[in-house]
């Protein structure tokens, strides 16, 4: 029976990983893979995570299932992190946390929940968006539509975005990036969030906010502005959250799907449906990552350590953005790439064309996604000048 199965192209990012590994150039640079890298080019284990794992080894008493909604302690911690400890949403029991296998697992829960409970509703994604959004929602059988996000000049097209949102059919779902937009790095200002909120209210649209990078933009609370604005104003919304980046526990697959309802009674109904959705997808989420996060939040010392480390990571990325633009100044390209310093998070829509990207790979062994999206965290003091010189070579 298998002889009829066709081979399909592999994931573009995974293909970049393999190509980079096989490249023999000692000066090769990986700006493609979406993980944080330190000055030495490694993805470190945070000190707070190491200390939490030591405590877990000594104190863990069971490996039993943690239930379809996951670890309650972890869920409570994430809700406070997303909404703020003093949130009225939490005080009114309007929000529910369902632990998931990473942020991608949370998106798959959202897709299943929408498909089952909101039949016939389309989901609207920014153009561009994280490519796997298309795969996850498409696999769930949802109809996918797009709204503009970046214009031809490689700038945030907020006017185009807002105009498109005003045309979306009532009741459809709109996916918004809370911060550190992947793949562009262009984020909404607080005023722009207010304008988006007004359209959501007018059109009675359901927002699904992808919150994968809290703490990587401007700070934990600053990055949550849009999420908290919508939650405090709207009756209903969905949120997908990830601990992969801000805790550096990528391989532990630790995320959360959060639903906000009008009141506690509606929330109980929604939560019952989410348990079924999770059960039918993977039954129970993994427990190690959530235990790490809960252990850190249960210790003032570890929480302080974690926040300091996260501040260091964010500061390094934002510093690299500025250094990159300065590094292009001798080539007369600093204004052309000035937007890189204004973007937030690990990713940047550089404005490089597919032809530029191909030449960077073939002639300089610099790897990035074909669209020109670069992982800024892949830069460091040893390769920054080399990358800037190479970019000047291919664009001039």
What is the set of active-site residues? 130, 210, 245
Block residue for tokens 């007018």 = 202
Q: Strand 237-242 vs strand 254-260: parallel, antiparallel, or unpaired?
A: antiparallel
Counts for the chain of helices (H) and strands (E), in that order: 16, 11
Q: Strand 206-211 vs strand 237-242: parallel, antiparallel, or unpaired?
A: parallel
131: left (phi over 0), alpha (psi -120 to 50) or beta: alpha
70: left (phi over 0), alpha (psi -120 to 50) or beta: left
Residue 36 sits at φ, ψ, to 5 deg, of -70, 140
Closest CA to 93 of 222, 225, 270: 270
Pair 148, 166: CB distance under 8 Å: no
3-state secondary structure 293-345: HHHHHCCHHHHHHHHHHHHHHHHHHHHHHHHHHHHHHHHCCCCCCCHHHHCCC
User: Which neighbouring-strand residues pair with 259?
Assistant: 96, 238
Three-state DSSP class for 55?
helix
């Amino acid at each position: 029976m298998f002889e009829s199965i066709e081979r399909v192209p592999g994931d573009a990012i995974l293909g970049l990983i393999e190509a980079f590994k096989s490249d023999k150039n000692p000066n090769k640079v990986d700006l493609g893979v979406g993980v944080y890298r330190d000055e030495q080019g490694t993805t470190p284990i945070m000190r707070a995570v190491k200390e939490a794992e030591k405590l877990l080894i000594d104190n863990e008493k069971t490996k039993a299932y943690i239930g379809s909604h996951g670890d309650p302690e972890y869920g409570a911690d994430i809700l406070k992190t997303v909404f703020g400890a003093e949130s009225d949403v939490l005080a009114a029991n309007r929000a529910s946390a369902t632990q998931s296998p990473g942020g991608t697992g949370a998106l798959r829960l959202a897709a299943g929940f929408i498909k089952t409970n909101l039949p016939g509703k389309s989901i609207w994604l920014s153009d561009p968006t994280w490519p796997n959004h298309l795969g996850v929602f498409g696999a769930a059988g949802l109809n996918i539509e797009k709204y503009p996000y970046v214009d031809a000049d490689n700038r945030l097209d907020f006017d185009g975005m807002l105009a498109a949102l005003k045309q979306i059919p009532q009741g459809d779902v709109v996916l918004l990036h809370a911060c550190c937009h992947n793949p562009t790095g262009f984020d909404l200002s607080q005023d722009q969030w207010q304008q988006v909120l007004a359209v959501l209210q007018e059109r009675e649209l359901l927002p699904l906010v992808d919150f994968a990078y809290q703490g990587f933009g401007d700070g934990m609370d600053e990055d949550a502005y849009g999420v908290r604005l919508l939650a405090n104003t709207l009756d209903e919304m969905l949120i997908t959250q990830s601990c992969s980046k801000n805790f550096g526990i990528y391989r532990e697959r630790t995320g959360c799907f959060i639903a906000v309802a009008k009141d506690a009674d509606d929330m109980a109904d929604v939560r019952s449906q989410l348990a079924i959705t999770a059960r039918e997808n993977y039954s129970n989420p993994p427990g190690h990552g959530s235990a790490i996060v809960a252990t850190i939040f249960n210790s003032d010392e570890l929480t302080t350590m974690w926040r300091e480390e996260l501040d260091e990571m964010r500061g390094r990325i934002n510093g690299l953005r500025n250094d990159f633009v300065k590094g292009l100044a001798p080539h007369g390209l600093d204004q052309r790439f000035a937007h890189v310093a204004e973007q937030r998070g690990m990713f940047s829509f550089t404005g490089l064309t597919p032809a530029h990207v191909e030449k960077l790979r073939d002639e300089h062994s610099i790897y990035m996604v074909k669209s020109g999206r670069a992982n800024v965290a892949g830069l460091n003091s040893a390769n920054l000048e080399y990358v800037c010189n190479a970019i000047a070579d291919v664009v001039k």
